[in-house]
Amino acid sequence: MTLVVVYAILLIGLTPPLGAYMHRVYTRERIGRAEGLVYRVIGVNPRAEQTWKRYASACLWFSAAGMVLIYVLMRMQSHLPLNPNHIANVNPYVAFNTAASFTTNTNWQAYGGETTMSYLTQMLALTFQNFVSAAVGMAVLIALIRGLVRSKQDTIGNFWVDLVRGTIYILLPISAVVTIVLMTQGVVQTLGPNQVVHGIQGMKQTIAVGPVASQIAIKQIGTNGGGFFNVNSAHPFEGGTPFGNYVEMFMILWIPAALTYTFGKMVGSRRQGWALFAVMWILMVAGLALTIPGEQRATPAMQAAGISANAPNLEGKELRYGTDASATWAVTTTDASNGSVNSMHDSYQALGGLAPMFNIAIGEVIWGGVGSGLYGMLFYVIIAVFIGGLMVGRTPEYLGKKIGARVVKYSAIAVLVPFIVALAFTAIAVALPSAVAATANKGPHGFSEILYAFLSQGNNNGSAFAGLTASGPYYTIAGGVAMLIARFVPLLAALALAGTLGREGTVPFTPGTLRTDTPLFAGLLTGVVVIIGALTFLPGLAIGPIVEHVLHGRLFG
């Protein structure tokens, strides 16, 4: 439990310095030499600002080009260099799903990395997208904040400037430091081929290696989560020592948490940023309180086999980390848009699996992805302000901007469309015999495997419940479509919102204005997030993990 307390305190203490630094990065007028060189190479005028439509167009074209690059590299990797293990081309279904996954910062993996991807694909396609997809999320958030701050202006910044600055000044430096730290903790970094060794009994074993540390650093920092190896962060060459595991776990939430402070600085009120931080922090602690105690007890099946009820549930967990570190990882990665796992959620107690599933279901706004989590939470803020305005009988306002019908519609679309996509594809899956046959379990647990898969892809998380063979045509195609919709519908809504708010004038604060930096509003916002999530997904959760808990782990043939 000390691990969890220290983690929560560190998150509070290290949020201001990084948040203040990111504020300087995105607001400074001076153009550095490194970024200036990039602008000259790509032919961009960094002083020219864009309307929200031009900003969105640049974002979409850049993302589309990245997705095509990933797909082509995977389909041609057997003919390209840096493939010392002679791995074949990726099949078209998995290639499409993976291209959509890494472009959208989801990093869902329907493949085993060490047996499917060459080193070139891992570095040039996947690691590159880990950087730029994260930078895109941060850029869109900064554009939305500018829309909130500006008055009667039609521009919201320059996409290319925001993208380059986020990559060069934030993601690259932190990744370089974390890569070195992870290498000291046993995470491998080499371009050499897999190693063949002989054990003490003379048996031959092939040990997969590769350029791992550099990919693992950015996969956590950018809330990506794609593993170099099939078992992801449970692999000793990915997670390293318990200390290395802890460093990775903290990196997952550091930038999303610090962006709340950046938000407060940019809108001129750090209290506003801390209010959002408080809501996210409280929801995170609630998830930890639900998950950790449950994993400290044996499962019903273990008890039936004669194991003490007070024994920890170590099924599906790395013994190097234990139950507390594994459960904390499960909660933090599903609070963020991070698909990495260091234990198998399929082996968690029913209520232990419920918290990660609910975290994803509400849209991953408890910290969420870098940038995308906070602009996702701002959609909920607008809905909460609108509801609060109805309660007090006056036109809702947020940060001096009136919240009209168009603004509320954009927010509702951004919140609800990913939910609809996840539920629709789940409903289709349970009606398809081939999709049901891909589950390792029957009954409510099998349904949880399917629901979790589409919640993960439909909300851009990427973690897997395990137990589901997701490499078939239906899951790869439907999942790829779900990831693209879940990423770009809210992204476009955020930019449209930025353009709408930026064109509006500001209204003065009056005694009748609903304050949004108080514990009262934080409580209202927390309630809105939980209630919308519960109303949307409670039926699905009820016939999955909740009924499984009530049935005390009963198995179905």
Q: What is the pLDDT of residue 466?
A: 74
Task: Give the pLDDT confidence of 403-440 residue by residue, as tens digits.
Answer: 989 999 999 999 999 999 999 999 999 999 999 998 88
pLDDT at 475: 93
| Structure tokens given for 407 | 């603004």
Residue 373: what pLDDT? 94
* Residue 182 DSSP SS3: helix
DSSP assigned state of 468: B
For every residue of 522-543, DSSP letters joined together read HHHHHHHHHHHHHHHHHHHHII
Window from 290-294, 429-433, 519-523 with minimum mean pLDDT:
290-294
pLDDT for position 552? 63
Task: For residues 341-346, give the mean pLDDT.
Answer: 84
Most confident of 135-139, 358-362, 433-437: 135-139
User: H-helix or E-strand containing 180?
Assistant: helix 172-184
Tell me if 39 sits within 8 A of 46, measured CB to CB: yes
State how far the alpha carbon of 130 is from the alpha carbons of 48, 378, 438, in Å: 27, 24, 29
Q: Quote the tokens at residue 71.
A: 């797909």
What residues contact 78, with CB distance under 8 A and at least 6 apart? 86, 87, 88, 89, 118
Q: What is the pTM of this model?
A: 0.93
The pLDDT, as a whole number, for residue 508 is 84
Q: What is the pLDDT of residues 78-105, one digit of tens each?
A: 999 999 999 999 999 999 999 999 999 9
- Residue 411 confidence (pLDDT): 95
What was the pLDDT predicted at 59? 97
309-316: average pLDDT: 82
**Mean pLDDT over the full length of the chain:** 91
Q: Say what the pLDDT of residue 83 is.
A: 95
532 by Cβ neighbours in 10 Å (0-12 / 13-18 / 19+) ranks as buried
The answer to whether 150 touches 208, Cβ cutoff 8 Å, is no
What does the longest C-alpha to C-alpha distance in the chain come to? 80
Q: CA 422, CA 530: separation in Å to the nearest integer?
A: 18
Mean pLDDT value across residues 477-489 = 95
The yes-or-no verdict on residue 555 having pLDDT over 60 is: no
pLDDT above 70 as % of the chain: 99
Query: Residue 198: helix, strand or coil by DSSP?
Result: strand
pLDDT for 344 beyond 90: no
pLDDT of residue 389: 84
- Low-confidence winner among 307-316, 417-426, 471-480 (lowest mean pLDDT): 307-316
Portion of the chain with pLDDT greater than 90, in percent: 66
Which residues does residue 195 pair with via DSSP β-bridges, in sequence order? 207
Q: Give the pLDDT score at 3.
A: 82
